[in-house]
C-alpha cells in the first residue's frame, strides 16, 4: 500500500541510499528490480488524503476508481479497493490521463535517478492494457534493456504481446509441481501438464518466464509439501533445471518454512545450525551449473522416462531447438526424479555421465534413491 511513490521509506534509508545500493549491486554483476504497485495506492498517499479531506472538491477525485459517494467513508468503504476488502488499498483509475502520466513518470523516475534495472508489477492483470503499453514505452526509452515482469496467477498471454511485459510470474508451473510432489498426480500427468504449460506462450517469451516455487503471497514450498525436506529439494531441482528464469524466494534455499501470508514473510534464517545444508548445497550446485549452461533458459526439453508405477520421471535438456543461436555447441543434461518412497533404477541412453549432485559417475542407467534425483552431464 504505497504512501509515497517518490521517496524511499525513511525506515530503510534515502533515495541516495537506494542509488548507492544499485551502484554496488552492479559492481557485483547483480541487477535490481523494484516492486511497482500501480493497481492501488495506500490510504496515506497524498492524493487519497486530499480526497478524504476535500471530498468532491478534490482535484484528485478522478484518480480513484468508483467512489460511490462523498465524503469518502473509511469505515463504510464507499470506494473501490484492492480485492474489494482492503480499505487501506484504494483502487487507482489508471484510465485517468493525469494519473497515468504521473505513474508512468514514476516508472521512469527510478530508472533515471537510481539506475534500477526494471520493475516487478503487482496485481498486473487488474490494470488496463493501455496503461502498461505507456508504462513500457517510457521505461524502455529510459533504459532499453530494463526488465518488466508482471504478477499473473493464470494464463497471461494478453500481456506478453511484445508491447507490455517481458515476463510474468509463472504460477501455473508452480501449481503443477505442487500437485506432482504431493503425489496428487502421477508423473505422466505432470509431464503432460508441464508440456502444455511450455506451449502457453510464444517461444520468444520462454527465456524470461519467471518460474517459481513460492513468493511473499504464498505459503513456502517446504510447508506446502508437509515439511518434507526431500520433496522441497526435488522442487528445487525441477526449478533449476526448467527453462525460463528461476525465481528463488529468500530462505527457500535453506529450507525455511512458513504458512500463508504473512507467515511466509518471516525474517531470514541466518543461523547455519538451523539451515538445511543439503538443500542449500543443491541450490549452489545447480545455480553454478545453470550459469555455466545459459542454454538451460531456452534449450529443448524432451521427456525420456515416464513410469507411473515406480514414480519415475526423467527428462533431457539440450542446447538445441528453435531458440538456439547459430553455431551453438551441442550440449545436454539429463534429470531423473524419483518421487516415490523406494530406490529405483532409471534406464537412460548409453553414455558415461557425471551426477552433479553426488559426484558419482554412471554409464547409461543409474539408481536413484527414494525422494531423490540425479542431474547428469557428460563425463
Task: Catalogue the active-site residues.
Answer: 122, 151
Residue among 151, 148, 166, 115 nearest 39 (CA)? 151
Dump strand ranges (E) for 248-323. 300-307, 312-318
Instruction: Specify the length of the chain in residues.
Output: 379
Neighbours of 44 (CB within 10 A): 12
Please say whether the dihedral angle defined by the alpha carbons of residues 319, 377, 244 and 305, taken in this order, is positive or negative: positive
Task: State residue 108 phi and psi, 5-degree precision.
Answer: -80, -40
Burial annotation 321-358 (CB, 10 A radius, 16+ → b, else e): bebbeeeeeebbbbbbbbbbeeebebebeeeebbbbbe
Q: Could you tell me if 7 and 15 are in contact, meaning their C-beta atoms sit under 8 angstroms apart? A: yes
Q: How far is CA 288 from CA 241, 291, 293, 357, in A?
A: 11, 5, 9, 12
CA 223 to chain CA centroid, Å, is: 18
- Cα–Cα distance between 352 and 357 in angstroms, integer? 16
Q: Is 287 helix (H, G, I), strand (E, B) or coil?
A: helix
Which DSSP symbol is given to 340? S
Amino acid at each position: 500500500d504505497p504512501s509515497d511513490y517518490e521517496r524511499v521509506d525513511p525506515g530503510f534509508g534515502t533515495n541516495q541510499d537506494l542509488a548507492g545500493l544499485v551502484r554496488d549491486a552492479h559492481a557485483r554483476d547483480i541487477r535490481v528490480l523494484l516492486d511497482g504497485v500501480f493497481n492501488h495506492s495506500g490510504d496515506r498517499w497524498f492524493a487519497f488524503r486530499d480526497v478524504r479531506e476535500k471530498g468532491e472538491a478534490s482535484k484528485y477525485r478522478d484518480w480513484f476508481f468508483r467512489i460511490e459517494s462523498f465524503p469518502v467513508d473509511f469505515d463504510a468503504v464507499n470506494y473501490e479497493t484492492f480485492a474489494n476488502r482492503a480499505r487501506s488499498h484504494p483502487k487507482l483509475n489508471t484510465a485517468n490521463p493525469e494519473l497515468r502520466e504521473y505513474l508512468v513518470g514514476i516508472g521512469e523516475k527510478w530508472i533515471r535517478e537510481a539506475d534500477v534495472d526494471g520493475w516487478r508489477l503487482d496485481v498486473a492483470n487488474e490494470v488496463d492494457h493501455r496503461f502498461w503499453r505507456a508504462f513500457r514505452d517510457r521505461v524502455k526509452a529510459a533504459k532499453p534493456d530494463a526488465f518488466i515482469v508482471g504478477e499473473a496467477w493464470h494464463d497471461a498471454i494478453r500481456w506478453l504481446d511484445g508491447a507490455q511485459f517481458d515476463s510474468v510470474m509463472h504460477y501455473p508451473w508452480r501449481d503443477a509441481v505442487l500437485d506432482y510432489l504431493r503425489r496428487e498426480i502421477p508423473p505422466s500427468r505432470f509431464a503432460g501438464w508441464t508440456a502444455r504449460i511450455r506451449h502457453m506462450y510464444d517461444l520468444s517469451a520462454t527465456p524470461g518466464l519467471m518460474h517459481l516455487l513460492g513468493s511473499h503471497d504464498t505459503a513456502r514450498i517446504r510447508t506446502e509439501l508437509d515439511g518434507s525436506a526431500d520433496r522441497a529439494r526435488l522442487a528445487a531441482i525441477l526449478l533449476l533445471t526448467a527453462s525460463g528464469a528461476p525465481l528463488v524466494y529468500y530462505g527457500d534455499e535453506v529450507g525455511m518454512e512458513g504458512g500463508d501470508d504473512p507467515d511466509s514473510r518471516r525474517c531470514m534464517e541466518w543461523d547455519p545450525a538451523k539451515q538445511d545444508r543439503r538443500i542449500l548445497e543443491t541450490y549452489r550446485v545447480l545455480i553454478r551449473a545453470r550459469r555455466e549452461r545459459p542454454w538451460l533458459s531456452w534449450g529443448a526439453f524432451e521427456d525420456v522416462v515416464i513410469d507411473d508405477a515406480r514414480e519415475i520421471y526423467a527428462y533431457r535438456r539440450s542446447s538445441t531447438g528453435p531458440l538456439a543461436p547459430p553455431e551453438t555447441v551441442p550440449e545436454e543434461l539429463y534429470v531423473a526424479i524419483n518421487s516415490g518412497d523406494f530406490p529405483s533404477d532409471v534406464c537412460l541412453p548409453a553414455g558415461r555421465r557425471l551426477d552433479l549432485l553426488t559426484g558419482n559417475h554412471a554409464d547409461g542407467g543409474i539408481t536413484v534413491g527414494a525422494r531423490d534425483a540425479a542431474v547428469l552431464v557428460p563425463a
